[in-house]
Amino acid sequence: MQSGTEDLQPPDSDSREGWYAVYTKHQHEKSAASFLARKGFEVLLPVYRAAHRWKDRMQVVALPVFPCYLFLRTRLQRKLEILQTPGVFWLVGNGGHASLVPESDIESIRKITESSAHFEPHPYLESGDRVRVVAGPMTGVEGILTRVKNRCRVILSVELLQKAVAVEVELSAVARLGNLRRAGLSPDASQRVLNV
């Protein structure tokens, strides 16, 4: 005889699909991403372009926005397969358990990296004015506003990794989060934003 309590049990967390951050060996992000993609995983490795000067030449190279990290969509039932991938150290987590990366973080990272805006890694920040971009291609993205040499940047921080990315924006395109309601701009629930 079966009891009705089986339906009340929480679903197995290993069977829940979601995005996870993977910590890789130094300068092995691209090869690890390639190996994981060949295993059938959906992989996100955000990169930016940077000019590097060597003795004899200058070259534009694609570098990871979050050095030593990449993101992949999976179920944790495949954790052993992930950890046995060359270049992979572990899944980023808390208390010995892999932590899900919010889907909104992934969408914001995609929006930035697929845009034509200039962006680059930025040191992780713990304080500053929280803003939301209210106009232009980055509309809906939240972060911390900074100024560097008369240029405005919104810093998007991924708390789980303690890493961040900076994207240049027009000052007129951002509003401080505390002022959005006073200005009559209510947050749109349909917008995907990065919580920092």
Tens of pLDDT along 46-71? 999 888 888 888 998 999 999 999 99
Question: Averaged over 125-148, what is the pLDDT?
Answer: 77
Task: Point out the domain boundary residue: 101, 136, 159.
Answer: 101
Find the domain containing 59 and state its range. 12-101
Q: How many domains does the chain have?
A: 2
Task: Point out the domain boundary residue: 101, 128, 160.
Answer: 101
- What pLDDT score was predicted for residue 173? 81
> Does the residue 7 lie in any domain?
no
Q: What is the CATH number of the domain that holds 54?
A: 3.30.70.940
Tokens 């060996």 -> residue: 25
**Does pLDDT of 108 surpass 60?**
yes
> Does the residue 145 lie in any domain?
yes
In total, the chain counts a number of residues equal to 196
Tens digit of each residue's pLDDT (9 = 90 or more) over 129-138 = 788 888 888 8
Are residues 97 and 40 both part of a single domain?
Answer: yes
Tokens coding 93: 């987590």
Question: Averaged over 146-155, what is the pLDDT?
Answer: 76
Are residues 36 and 51 both part of a single domain?
Answer: yes
What's the CA gap between 65 and 140, in Å, rounded? 20
**CB 122 within 8 Å of CB 164:** yes
**CB 67 within 8 Å of CB 121:** yes
> Does the residue 164 lie in any domain?
yes
**Does pLDDT of 109 surpass 90?**
yes
